[in-house]
Amino acid sequence: MDEFRGERRETEQGGRKVFTEPGRVIVVDPGGQSFIRHNEVDRFRFGARDIRTQQVGAETRTIVVRPDGSQIITVNGRDGQLVRRIRRDPRGREIIIIDNSYRGPGAAAAGFYVDLPPPVIRIPRDRYIVEAETASPDLIYETMMAPPVERIPQRYTLDQIRYSASVRQLMPSIDLDTINFETGSWEIPPDQAAKLQAIADGLNRVISQNPRAVFLIEGHTDAVGSDVDNLSLSDRRAESAAELLTQQFQVPAENLTSQGYGEQYLKIDTQGPERQNRRVTIRNIEPLLNGGSRPPPPPPGTAPPRR
């Protein structure tokens, strides 16, 4: 982190503190809420045949062309915020995987944060937060396919899901406790990487059935270090896991998204160094993006692209 810390720049924009470092922007609101953002397009470059960028009005479209002719189209707004993610097959048929536009009543005033009461958990706690190290492949798959723990009242945007814990908590999660990072590191050692096979198998199985499935990989740190450092570190941990799942286990990159949360959600309540707090978790957020409704069937013959 020393290198990134040395290149970090702090500015103030509209009462917010904004920290910019290579590959990341960290925003701290006056009320103390903070979040981190990075451009996920870099993850799609692996195995790409061609990459091109188009400017269409205020939107920037990055088109990643794969060896089989399929395309992943990422549309970003003027501020770099993700607007849509689309998969186009070699025949030109399209699937919108993520629509990050605000919807519904009051959409114009909608923000990133959604305040919901904590969900009532009616399933066993070890089925709500599943420990990957001791879970069977069938349990991992079942958790990835599990419905929300409560009725979902509306569709949520990706940003609302990323930045609102009360929304994410509507979906069960898998704690990838087979991976515990060293202090200050986001590297996944080869011996731990191999333990992600069951996770990758479950992801690929779900995506083969529902090409619109979206999984959020969440990065975490322990409480040692500054809040800004930990946000950056946790975000890089989540991205490392997403990259590994694609590059080593062929999980389609477009069905994954990642987000760091720093030390906000400690697994072990301690302010000291704790290996179990340096972790990543994963959950299926497609029901949140679609308001709990069953996704429409994909076009005939559509399947997630293989590399």
Whether 18 is in a domain gets the answer yes
Does residue 304 belong to any structural domain of this protein?
Answer: no
pLDDT score for 210: 95
Tell me which of 42-46, 66-70, 116-120, 294-298 is least confident: 294-298
Residue 216 corresponds to which tokens in the numbers above? 């959020």
The answer as to whether 307 is a domain residue is: no
Is the separation of the CB atoms in 249 and 243 below 8 Å?
no
Q: What is the mean pLDDT of residues 122-150?
A: 95
What total of structural domains would you count in the chain?
1
Q: Are 36 and 26 in contact (CB under 8 A)?
A: yes
Q: Quick check: is 214 in a domain?
A: yes
- Domain membership flag for residue 91: yes
Examine residue 301 and state whether it is found in any structural domain, yes or no: no
Q: How far apart are CA 133 and CA 188, in angstroms?
A: 16
Instruction: Answer whether residue 306 shows pLDDT above 90.
Output: no
Domain extent, residue 100, equals: 2-289
- What is the secondary structure of 238-251 as a DSSP string? HHHHHHHHHHHH--
Q: Is the pLDDT of residue 307 over 70?
A: no
Burial of 116 (0-12, 13-18, 19+ CB in 10 A): middle
Q: Which of 127, 210, 134 is nearest to 172 (CA)?
A: 127
What integer is the mean pLDDT of 57-84?
Answer: 91
- Determine the pLDDT at residue 31: 81
Q: Is the pLDDT of residue 296 over 50?
A: no
Pairing mode, if any, of strands 82-88 and 71-76? antiparallel
Q: Quick one: what percent of the chain has pLDDT higher than 90? A: 68
Q: How much is the pLDDT for 293?
A: 59
Residue 244 CA from chain centroid, whole number: 14
Q: Where is average pLDDT lowest: 40-49, 57-66, 260-269?
A: 40-49
Task: Between 151 and 108, name the one with better pLDDT.
Answer: 151
Q: What is the average per-residue pLDDT within 13-33?
A: 90
Instruction: Say which CATH number the domain at 128 has.
Output: 3.30.1330.60
The pLDDT score that the predictor gives to residue 122 is 92
Does 142 map to a domain?
A: yes
**Residue 80's pLDDT is what?**
78
Q: For residue 239, name the pLDDT band (cuts at 50, 70, 90).
A: very high
Q: What is the mean pLDDT of the chain?
A: 89
Once rounded to an integer, what is the mean pLDDT over residues 205-229?
95
Is residue 181 one of the residues assigned to a domain?
yes
pLDDT given at position 262: 94
